Amino acid sequence: MADARDSGLQAPLWRAIAIYRLAALAYAAFLVVSNVGAYVRPMLAWPTLALMAAWTVVTTYAYADPARRRPPLLVADLLVTIAVLTASIWVVGRSGLEAGLPTLAVAWHVAPVICWAVAGGRRGGIAAALAMGATDLIVRAHYDQAAFTGAVLMLLAAIAVGNLVRIAEVGQQRLERAIELEATTRERERLARDIHDSVLQVLALVKRRGAGLDGEAGELARLAGEQEAALRSLVAARQVSDPVADELDLMALLEPYASPVVTVSGPAGAVRLPARIAHELRAAVAAAVDNVEKHCVPGTKVYLFVEDEPDEVIVTVRDDGCGIEPDRLAQAEAQGRLGVVQSIRGRVADLGGRVRIISAPGEGTEVEMVVRRVPIS
């Protein structure tokens, strides 16, 4: 059911229904005036018409308030209209209706059906259309094609309006989300600018001035450097996901690893990969970086390098640590002792890619992961 706030589309829609009801009332009044001579109880036609006019005014005001568009009003609307329609049996008379005279509520009786469709969607519209259509058929006691066509048209209109409202609501929600997102992005950019102009500069300066100092001052400089790098990657963070396809930007996933000891390099633009591949590569890179931190002396530099080839993506993790003797590497791997290397190889192999490890004593270790853009399944 409609919620209590007026979304952008709802207000004009309810206004349109009010105008329809008013126009239909005028048409019904015109028909009453021209046919009143043929009615069985013409004196009752005027109070009925007055009731219709009053109800038109009541609903116009009631539906204008979002808080009142609730089941009680909708049910009342349907019942009042059905009552007016049914009154035709006594006012117009059985024989008149059978002879083809219109009901008192002709056209006017469609308004509540549309209201139900707007407030309750397709299902609400169909329910109201069936109730109203059945009443109309019974009152007119006409079971020919024209009568059925009227009922079917009403049903179709209810379905169409119900659908339209749902689509419009979804569109409205998307628009609101987009506006919200844009506002956050703009706010983020403003923050990034401010941080760039102030905090980052000072932290970089502190790091630089204190870099050569011993003891606490040197420690402070080192901390400032770490914070500078963390903050920089935070404010420069790219948008990770691609809203259109199920793809992620690998650069955006890897940039958070940048720190005073970890350098991230690659193309300026996004490196798009299917989400699964991107996450697996990120995990493999994380394992490699952790491994350096665990096994090499503190402060060992790590370089992450991403290459975006037309049909494959190459990610290299190199450290300038102590390195490993080639035969020891093979030996350790053969004995299954290189847990991290195994896990990296496993992850990349699952993606149909390959891993190359180059290491020499004093030369550091280089782990090169090559993954095809489209995985071999």
Partner 1 sequence: MSAAIRVMVVDDHPMWREGVSRDLAAAGYDVVATSGEGRQAVRIAAAARPDVVILDLQLPDVSGVEVINGLQTEVPGVRVLMLSASGEQQDVLDAMKAGATGYLLKSAGLTDFLDAVSRTAAGDTVFTPGLAGLVLGEFRRLAVTEPADPRADAPKLTERETEVLRLVAKGLSYRQIAERLVLSHRTVQNHVQNTLGKLQLHNRVELTRYALQNGLAPLGEDPAP
Contacts with partner 1 by CB under 8 A lie at: 192, 196-197, 200-202, 204-205, 207-209, 211-212, 225, 228-229, 232-233, 235-236, 255, 258, 260, 263-269, 301, 303, 305-310, 316, 318, 320, 363, 366
Q: How far is the CB of 317 from partner 1 (least distance, A)?
A: 9
- Non-local (6+) Cβ contacts of 134 within 8 A are 151
**Residues 366 and 341 sit within 8 Å (Cβ to Cβ):** no
**What does the block give as tokens for 220?**
């402070």
Q: How far is the CB of 61 from partner 1 (least distance, A)?
A: 57
With respect to partner 1, which residue has the nearer C-beta, 38 or 211? Answer: 211
With respect to partner 1, which residue has the nearer C-beta, 316 or 359? Answer: 316
Residue with tokens 């169909």: 126
Q: How far is the CB of 255 from partner 1 (least distance, A)?
A: 8
Alpha carbons 159 and 121: distance in angstroms, whole number: 8
With respect to partner 1, which residue has the nearer C-beta, 162 or 225? Answer: 225
- Beta carbons within 10 angstroms of residue 338's beta carbon: 19
230-238 own/partner pairs: CB under 8 Å, 24+ apart:
230/259, 231/195, 231/199, 231/200, 231/203, 232/200, 232/258, 233/258, 235/191, 235/192, 235/195, 235/196, 235/200, 236/192, 238/270
With respect to partner 1, which residue has the nearer C-beta, 151 or 192? Answer: 192
- Non-local (6+) Cβ contacts of 271 within 8 A are 249, 250, 251, 306, 308, 313
Q: How far is the CB of 356 from partner 1 (least distance, A)?
A: 13
Helices then strands, counting H and E runs in the chain, come out as 12, 7
With respect to partner 1, which residue has the nearer C-beta, 77 or 255? Answer: 255
With respect to partner 1, which residue has the nearer C-beta, 154 or 200? Answer: 200
